[in-house]
Amino acid sequence: MTDAQRSGCPINLSLEVLGDKWSLLIIRDMMFGNRRHFRELLTKSEEGISSNILADRLKTLLEQGIITREDDPTHKQKGIYSLTEQGIELLPVLAQMAAWGYKYLPVTEELGIRARLLSEGGPKMWAEFMDELRESHLGAKRRRRGGPSVGERLQAAYESVVNGN
Amino acid sequence: MTDAQRSGCPINLSLEVLGDKWSLLIIRDMMFGNRRHFRELLTKSEEGISSNILADRLKTLLEQGIITREDDPTHKQKGIYSLTEQGIELLPVLAQMAAWGYKYLPVTEELGIRARLLSEGGPKMWAEFMDELRESHLGAKRRRRGGPSVGERLQAAYESVVNGN
DNA sequence: ACAACCAGTTGCAAATCGCAATCAGTTAGG
DNA sequence: CCTAACTGATTGCGATTTGCAACTGGTTGT
């Protein structure tokens, strides 16, 4: 990992960290799929990342302070990966990217439903979801709201499509 | 350009098109730097893209419908690259990415000022800027507003920082 | 004891990247 | 005209990154 530093432009610096085909997918799976272990990220993703790439990206994301790793008390070899606040704040980036992809690219119905809901929900829903992530990844206390969480609503919508309404 | 199609997820599909270190920088320069010719994109960027990569990315962006190319009437070899509506709608993605980079990465003051203004301006300012881009890239008529345009304001702020207030 | 599971690592071929040199056509100046 | 500078690229080549498969060393459940 050599720090290139091509320029001090915020977009360029972001791309130097996240500008590849896998890093944001890992973040996506941690956010929306609740994948927290190496094996979950490796096998339960749509795209099929290979283990060496996954190991390399997790290392980079750790170094960049986007995720953290702690030992799983139930298994000496397992690690639990969590998003940091910095990582959680990538949600708006992913949400905008998902909205753009949903609008212009050949998205399948099952995998597009989350993007549609998140786009329709707008920044207010994003903020609510980020609060939920702060609870599950940072252990932060969250002001409870009535009804199902954003995460639950997204998951329910996905399953609804898969099971044919 | 093989169409991989790893999955129909909107985030994945977006990354298959834009997930590299240069594509979004080219879009950035077309949006904020008003670069419209090959040579401008090649030489007037902070990061120094090489000509073969630039040619390849422009080709891909053309194929994807994110930009268009037309002949420059003043020079038989020159082409004018323009953003399509699809390309213009990448602005929110870039804006969120810039805001994140501005907050968490070692951004220089000169190159960060645009990100700060755009972040503070929020979606309303983005929409206004996108309307300006529709005018300059698509030839669309725009409802004129009083005062300087968003593009002018961003440029003025940048120069103000460079010249030491 | 043994099979399944865990987080990675290694080896290697293929693809991509980055740099410099080069190309052929176009334009401006003398 | 003639030439020099400029146009959008293309080519060659070494270095890096990727993708795949096999493998490692350790842990857990039966």
Q: Is B67 helix (H, G, I), strand (E, B) or coil?
A: strand
Distances (CA, A) of A50 to A27, A44, A95: 16, 12, 25
Contacts of B104 (CB under 8 A, 6+ apart): A65, A86, A89
What is the Cα–Cα distance from B40 to A115, expressed in whole angstroms?
A: 36
Instruction: Inform me whether the pLDDT recorded for B2 exceeds 60.
Output: no
**Would you say B8 and A161 are in contact if contact means Cβ atoms under 8 Å apart?**
no
Q: Which amino acid is at A43?
A: T
Tokens 């996954």 label which residue? A54
What is the Cα–Cα distance from B45 to B25, expressed in whole angstroms?
A: 9
Q: Is A145 helix (H, G, I), strand (E, B) or coil?
A: coil
Residue B21 phi/psi, 5-degree rounding, is: -85, 0
CA terminus-to-terminus distance, chain A: 47
Q: Per CA to C1' distance, which residue is closest to C24?
A: B77
What is the Cα–Cα distance from A33 to A44, expressed in whole angstroms?
A: 9
* Helices A10-18 and B23-32: angle between axes, nearest 10 degrees: 170
Q: Is A41 left (phi over 0), alpha (psi -120 to 50) or beta?
A: alpha
Interface with A, mutate which of B3, B5, B14, B161 (most A CBs under 10 A): B14
Task: List the single residue in B7, B89, B107 with the smallest CB-CB distance to A13.
Answer: B107
Residues 67-86 of chain B within 7 A of strand C, judged by CB, are 74-77
- The domain B1-83 having CATH identifier 1.10.10.10: the answer here is yes
Candidates 1.10.10.10, 1.10.150.120, 3.40.640.10, 3.40.1350.10; correct CATH number of A1-84? 1.10.10.10
Any idea which of A15-24, B115-124, B135-144 has the lowest mean pLDDT?
B135-144
Nearest Cα residue to A118 out of A97, A135, A147, A104: A97
Contacts of B47 (CB under 8 A, 6+ apart): A6, A7, A9, A12, B25
**Would you say A25 and A47 are in contact if contact means Cβ atoms under 8 Å apart?**
yes
Q: Where in chain B are the domains?
A: 1-83, 90-165
Spacing of C-alpha B43 from chain mean position: 16
What pLDDT was estimated at residue A1? 42
Task: Please check whether strand C approaches the CB of B48 to within 7 Å.
Answer: yes
What is the Cα–Cα distance from B123 to B118, expressed in whole angstroms?
A: 9
What is the Cα–Cα distance from A155 to B136, expressed in whole angstroms?
A: 41
Q: A84 or B48: whose pLDDT is higher?
A: A84
Neighbours of A5 (CB within 10 A): 11
According to DSSP, residue B36 is labeled -
Nearest Cα residue to A11 out of B46, B40, B124: B46
Report the DSSP pairing between strands A67-71 and B67-71: unpaired
**Would you say B103 and B120 are in contact if contact means Cβ atoms under 8 Å apart?**
no
Mean pLDDT, chain B, rounded, equals: 94
Give the closest nucleotide to B6 (alpha carbon vs C1'): D19
Q: Which residues of chain A have pLDDT under 70?
A: 1-4
DSSP string, B6-26: ----HHHHHHHHH-SSSHHHH
Q: How confident is the model at residue B3 (pLDDT cuts 50, 70, 90)?
A: low
What pLDDT was estimated at residue A145? 85
Q: How confident is the model at residue B1 (pLDDT cuts 50, 70, 90)?
A: very low
Give the closest nucleotide to B48 (alpha carbon vs C1'): C18
Average pLDDT estimate for B12-32: 96
**Would you say B158 and B108 are in contact if contact means Cβ atoms under 8 Å apart?**
no
Q: Per CA to C1' distance, which residue is closest to D19?
A: A50
Instruction: Extract the tokens encoding A25.
Output: 């997918």
